[in-house]
Amino acid sequence: MRSGNKGKLENAEVPLPFAPRTEVESERFLKFCEKFVRVPKGTNAKGVFRPRPWQTDIASDVLDSGARTVGLMLPRGSGKTTLNAAIALYTFFTWGEGANVDVFAVDERQAGLAFSAARRIVELSEDLSSRCYVYTDKLVLPLTDSTFQVMPASPAAAEGRDSVLTICDEAGVINRDLFEVVQLAAGKRERSVLVAIGTPGPNLDDQVLLSLRDYHREHPDDRSLVWREYSAAGFEDHPVDCEHCWELANPALDDFLHRDALHALLPPKTREATFRRARLCQLPIDNDGSFLPPGVWDSLSTTDEIPAGADVVLALDGSYNNDTTAIVVGTVAPEPHFDVVQVWDPKGDPDYRVPVAEVEEAIRRSAKKWRVQEIIADPFRFTRTLQELEAERLPVVEFPHSPSRLTAATTDLYKACVNGQLTHSGHPTLAAHVAAAVIREDPRGMRLDKASRSRHARKIDCAAALLMAHSRATWRATHKKKRARSFKR
């Protein structure tokens, strides 16, 4: 390996002998691999690198789609390092003047893995190595003044970069500030692409890879982002040794990923949650600290509906912007039944504002449908709404979220759930929010809370409304009832 410029390159001024008769970039890439790329290590080391059909699909996403961002989620052992290196070298050698390639990762050591594979590929090809200077942390192509470089894992290092291809490796754990700087630096070229590739990281609440996945699911028509994943998502209920799931998630299985290696790592040798995340790209819920034990909430589900005219309470967990607002209804009974009236979700829109008028109208409609005994809410940020509804002679009850009040309500709701003393409609958003809730304990007691304060943390707003609704519905059922007020417009 050259440690620096050691004299004139033999073919520094000679174009690469590469002129395939196709304008389809992914097809040109396959020809490039056949002629110049040798496997740098592992199975078939030094043999011709022949991308498999699934790898060709990934190359097509990067090279043919015209997208500015490509998100790729694959399990460990899928050969993404070699594929990254091959695609990067193709753009570096064939995309003309100033075809700069940057590689970022969680740290420089990790980014160096992709660069090391690329460097080794260059060294194994006389055509490539005779045209390219090889340094310890970069490649330089004098003919087109292009560089292939490993970048420091810091936002400051990404400022002002100008590349045709940027690879963010291990996007499941990469620093979000770094990724956003890299994103904002893109677009200086008519043709450029940012590739975020990796396996889901352990922090499921705030990671780049899953944010891209969520955005794609919510905006499938946005062609500026292409998303591809290989996972066993949807089969989390299958056992961890389910080979159907292995085959779904691991396109390289029985090729260069050996089945016995997966068997060797099965729990209890590794934790089940870790195995599912790293080898199946499943996102299991970590039950440590979860509000309810596994299976409890599902066991309380029924198909019952709350009939019109029933005595109920309404609980509002409201926000102003960039957060979810929810209304939950519960029957007034010692063992109440709950359902969701409506949920307002910003779905990642940074300019979202809660439609307060819609929230108020939903409460009015509910007051026409049922005999509403109480409308419960924390007055924070919804004081005007509560005053407006009270002026209309609706039964408003404030539920300030003080530690002592929340501790008592959390304890009562937990006991009711584990003892089967409530039911619910099975509403998926309510189920998701209950599953996301955790128990927070401190000297002031045990309270329902979010897993983290991150704005990317999973929502629990329906669970918070459920907490208030259960507290007041059971209280009303065990105390003398007041005559419900009728509501007419």
Mind listing the pLDDT tens digit for each residue in 218-248? 999 999 999 999 999 988 888 999 999 999 9
What was the pLDDT predicted at 487? Answer: 47
Closest to 400 in 3D by CA, of 455, 333, 300, 468: 468
Higher pLDDT, 350 or 238: 238
Please check whether residue 145 is in contact with residue 97, taking contact to mean a CB–CB distance below 8 angstroms.
Answer: yes
Q: How many CB atoms lie within 10 A of CB 481?
A: 10
477 pLDDT band (50/70/90 cuts)? very high
Architecture per CATH, domain 296-477, reads as 2-Layer Sandwich (3.30)
Average confidence score pLDDT of the chain: 87
CA distance 65 to 231: 22
Would you say residue 151 has pLDDT above 50?
Answer: yes
- For residue 463, the one-letter residue type is A
Would you say residue 46 has pLDDT above 50?
Answer: yes
Mean pLDDT in residue range 207-219:
92
Pairing state of beta strands 138-141 and 165-169?
Answer: unpaired
CA distance 162 to 187: 9
Q: How many CB atoms lie within 10 A of CB 115?
A: 27
pTM: 0.60
How is residue 486 annotated by DSSP? P
Kindly calculate the radius of gyration of the chain based on its CA atoms and give it in whole angstroms.
28
What was the pLDDT predicted at 458? Answer: 81
Q: What is the DSSP string of 267-291?
A: TTSS-HHHHHHHHH---PPP-TTBS
Mean pLDDT in residue range 62-90:
94
Would you say residue 441 has pLDDT above 80?
Answer: no
Topology annotation, domain 25-230? Rossmann fold (3.40.50)
59 pLDDT band (50/70/90 cuts)? very high
Mean pLDDT in residue range 418-438:
92
- In the chain, list all ranges with CATH 3.40.50.300: 25-230
CA distance 366 to 329: 9
User: Tokens for 128?
Assistant: 């490539």
444 pLDDT band (50/70/90 cuts)? low
Mean pLDDT in residue range 438-451:
73
Give the bridge partners for 392, in sequence order.
none
- For residue 452, the one-letter residue type is S
Q: List C-alpha distances in Å: 252 to 235, 246, 477.
A: 19, 10, 59
CA distance 182 to 165: 11
Closest to 374 in 3D by CA, of 324, 330, 337: 330
How is residue 98 annotated by DSSP? T
What was the pLDDT predicted at 489? Answer: 43
Q: Name which of 163-177, 355-369, 376-390, 475-489 the model is least confident about.
A: 475-489
- In the chain, list all ranges with CATH 3.30.420.240: 296-477
State which H helix or E strand residue 183 sits in: helix 176-185
CA distance 213 to 163: 24
Q: List C-alpha distances in Å: 346 to 63, 195, 321, 377.
A: 33, 26, 8, 20
Would you say residue 19 has pLDDT above 50?
Answer: yes
Answer positive or negative: Cα dihedral of 169, 172, 177, 183.
positive
195: Cβ contacts below 8 Å, ≥ 6 apart: 62, 69, 70, 72, 84, 87, 165, 166, 167, 168
Q: How many CB atoms lie within 10 A of CB 348?
A: 13
Please check whether residue 474 is in contact with residue 486, taking contact to mean a CB–CB distance below 8 angstroms.
Answer: no
Please check whether residue 282 is in contact with residue 233, taking contact to mean a CB–CB distance below 8 angstroms.
Answer: yes
Question: H helices of 333-458, where?
Answer: 356-369, 383-391, 403-418, 428-436
Please check whether residue 390 is in contact with residue 332, taking contact to mean a CB–CB distance below 8 angstroms.
Answer: no
